[in-house]
């Protein structure tokens, strides 16, 4: 029962793999994936009360991992509903596309329970390798192969970041003689301020910075967003970031608040990510590239919570990234439905959206206002929690820089709203027809963004209670 969500997803992998052996049936694979996602949600809810150590202590099932599996399963269902009939993926490869998507979700599900270096690396690679293939599966247009360039960049940056991470973990293993994270950090505590330990820790975090798109491991982000299909970019922009934050919480929470070297490193990365992402986003014309650069800034916001090295900071970071997952998914719903046959969407193409599809326009406004940090949406409460946690630990300069960056971000986000709500499309506006799954998805995302902003206490309390026993023996 403790391993039930993973068993459901593993069974789904087998079923989807068998489906790819025959004549490709993209619609059948999508229906099967949606069914598996629903079963995975049920299995994750059933497993909420489970706990234990599996595989010789390499895999920890606790309250923290179990509620994250619920969120990942729900996010997986949202991505499947968002994807529709995958207009930019060739029909003969759509079944394989769903298989790779499912494998990546399985890797993320395993990632949040991995508490040993080898299991952590395996789960991280399982969640990453299918994405390299999914980016390259986009249909070619007019001889352009931008998706191939994006996939190569994604792979090369991934290999480099993972290589640095492996090198860092090898240092930490050499210093401690163990691959179990809890034992490793306990043995590192007396020597945490030595140069070798600081270098090892800095390098070990690189793989997760890459996943989260934190500066300087962000360079792949805008190109992959632009080169991948809209549905693939929507997945890359949401669930993997949740997995990265979850692992960083497990790692950073093992450090003590007195470890100023880690706090200083995280503060520098947060400032660089926020400033770079927001300033470059100001001049973007492609909506996906804008979301790519703003995603770098939002990764910086999430890292602000880690600088506190406290439960309040970790709670705020997790809460913020869950809200970000909902907000960016809502943006990609709009992109997928506005797009003509799977093409990228320029910000100018959103003009007249309020006439073409009022529901999509409302979804866009709620999502963008949330990303901008405007109350009463989840983005505002999330940033407030991050800033409160950082200020409590005396990071006043970091808080001021974060507020300034939030003000900069409001400018380019309001430009998107201005186009969608007040802009007029030249000529006759083509009405966008939405199917019922898309309508339900839009309403669910808007309700989630507003509800988490208006009534944050239940989920914040759930996160805080799960963190209370994060490093305690089971």
Which carries the bigger pLDDT value, residue 426 or residue 399? 399
Residue 474 has pLDDT above 60, yes or no: no
Determine whether 74 is exposed, middle or buried from the number of CB atoms within 10 Å of its CB (0-12, 13-18, 19+). Answer: buried
The pLDDT of residue 2 is: 85
Domain membership flag for residue 86: yes
Q: Is the peptide bond before 376 cis (omega within 30 degrees of 0)?
A: yes
C-alpha to C-alpha distance for 280 and 290, rounded to whole angstroms: 8
- Residues, the chain: 474
- Which pLDDT score is estimated for 370? 92
Which ranges in 84-137 belong to alpha helices (H)?
94-111, 117-136
CA distances from 473 to 51, 182, 439, 468 (A): 11, 10, 45, 12
253 is a domain residue: yes
* Residue 142: band (very low, low, confident or very high) from pLDDT cuts 50, 70, 90: low
Q: How far apart are CA 407 and CA 402, in angstroms?
A: 9
Q: 114 CB contacts (<8 Å, ≥6 apart)?
A: 58, 59, 60, 120, 122, 123, 247
Tell the residue number behind the tokens 């900069």, with chain if given: 408
Distance of CA 177 to the CA centre of its chain: 32
Q: 367: how many CB neighbours lie within 10 A of its CB?
A: 28
Can you give the pLDDT at residue 143? 58
Interval 441-456 mean pLDDT: 92
| C-alpha pair distances (Å), 176 with each of 38, 188, 195, 436 | 42, 7, 15, 55
**Is 421 a domain residue?**
yes
**pLDDT score for 422:** 81
Q: Please give the pLDDT value at position 276.
A: 92
Which residues on neighbouring strands pair with residue 53, listed in sequence order?
60
Look at residue 473 and tell me if it is in a domain: no
6-10, 308-312, 397-401 — which is least confidently predicted? Answer: 308-312
Q: What pLDDT does 349 receive?
A: 85
User: Where in the sequence is the domain holding 400, given as residue range(s)?
Assistant: 4-468
What is the total count of domains within the chain?
1
Q: What is the pLDDT of residue 49?
A: 86
- pLDDT tens per residue across span 39-48: 999 999 998 8
**Residue 474 forms part of a structural domain:** no
Q: Output 111 or 139, whichever has higher pLDDT.
A: 111
* Residue 393 resides in a domain: yes
Inside any domain, residue 215: yes
Please give the structure tokens belonging to residue 474: 């089971």
Provide the pLDDT confidence category of residue 228 given band limits of 50, 70 and 90: confident
Q: What is the pLDDT of residue 473?
A: 64
Collapsed DSSP state (helix, strand, coil) of residue 346: strand
What is the value of pTM for the model shown?
0.92
pLDDT, residue 38, reads 94
The string of pLDDT tens digits covering residues 335-372 is 988 887 778 888 888 888 888 888 999 999 999 999 99
Those residues with Cβ within 8 angstroms of residue 146's Cβ, 6 or more apart along the chain or in another chain: 226, 227
**Predicted pLDDT at 87:** 81
Residue 442 pLDDT class (50, 70, 90 cuts): very high
Please, is 203 exposed, middle or buried when counting C-beta atoms within 10 Å of its C-beta (0-12, 13-18, 19+)? buried
Strand runs labelled E in 33-184: 52-54, 59-61
pLDDT band at 388 (very low <50, low <70, confident <90, very high): very high
**Mean pLDDT (whole number) for 283-301:** 91
Taking residues 289-302, what's their average pLDDT? 92
């Amino acid at each position: 029962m403790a391993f039930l969500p993973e068993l459901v997803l593993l069974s789904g992998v087998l079923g989807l793999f068998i489906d790819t052996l025959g004549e490709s049936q993209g619609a059948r694979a999508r229906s099967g994936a949606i069914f598996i996602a629903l079963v995975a949600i049920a299995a994750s809810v059933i497993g909420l009360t489970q706990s234990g150590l599996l595989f010789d202590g390499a895999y920890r099932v606790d309250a923290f991992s179990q509620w994250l599996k619920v969120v990942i399963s729900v996010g997986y269902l949202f991505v499947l509903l968002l994807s529709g009939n995958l207009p930019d993926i060739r029909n003969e490869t759509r079944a394989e596309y769903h298989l790779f998507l499912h494998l990546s979700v399985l890797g993320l599900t395993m990632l949040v329970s991995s508490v040993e270096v080898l299991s952590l690396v395996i789960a991280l690679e399982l969640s990453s390798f299918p994405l390299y293939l999914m980016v390259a599966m986009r249909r070619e247009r007019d001889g352009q192969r931008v998706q191939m360039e994006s996939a190569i960049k994604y792979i090369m940056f991934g290999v480099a970041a993972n290589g640095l991470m492996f090198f860092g973990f090898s240092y930490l293993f050499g210093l401690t003689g163990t691959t179990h994270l809890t034992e490793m950090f306990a043995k590192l505590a007396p020597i945490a301020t030595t140069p070798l330990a600081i270098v090892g820790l800095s390098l070990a975090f690189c793989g997760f910075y890459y996943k989260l798109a934190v500066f300087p491991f962000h360079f792949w982000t805008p190109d992959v967003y632009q080169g991948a299909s809209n549905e693939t970019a929507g997945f890359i922009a949401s669930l993997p970031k949740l997995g990265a934050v979850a692992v960083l919480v497990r790692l950073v929470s093992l450090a003590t608040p007195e470890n100023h070297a880690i706090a200083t490193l995280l503060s520098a990365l947060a400032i660089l990510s926020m400033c770079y992402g927001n300033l470059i986003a100001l001049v973007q014309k492609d909506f996906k590239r804008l979301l790519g650069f703003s995603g770098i800034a939002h990764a910086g916001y999430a890292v602000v919570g880690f600088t506190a090295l406290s439960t309040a900071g970790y709670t705020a970071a997790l809460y913020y990234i869950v809200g970000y997952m909902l907000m960016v998914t809502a943006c990609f719903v709009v992109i997928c439905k506005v797009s003509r046959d799977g093409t990228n969407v320029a910000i100018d193409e959103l003009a007249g959206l309020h006439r073409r599809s009022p529901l999509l326009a409302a979804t866009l406004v709620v999502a963008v206002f949330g990303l901008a940090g405007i109350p009463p949406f989840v983005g505002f409460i999330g940033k407030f929690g991050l800033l409160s946690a950082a200020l409590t630990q005396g990071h006043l300069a970091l808080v001021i820089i974060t507020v300034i960056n939030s003000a900069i971000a409001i400018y380019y986000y309001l430009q998107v709203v201005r186009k969608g709500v007040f802009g007029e499309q030249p000529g006759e506006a083509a009405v966008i027809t939405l199917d019922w799954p898309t309508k339900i998805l839009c309403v669910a995302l808007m309700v989630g963004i507003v509800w988490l902003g208006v009534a944050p206490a239940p989920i914040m309390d759930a996160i805080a209670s799960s963190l209370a026993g994060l490093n305690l023996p089971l």
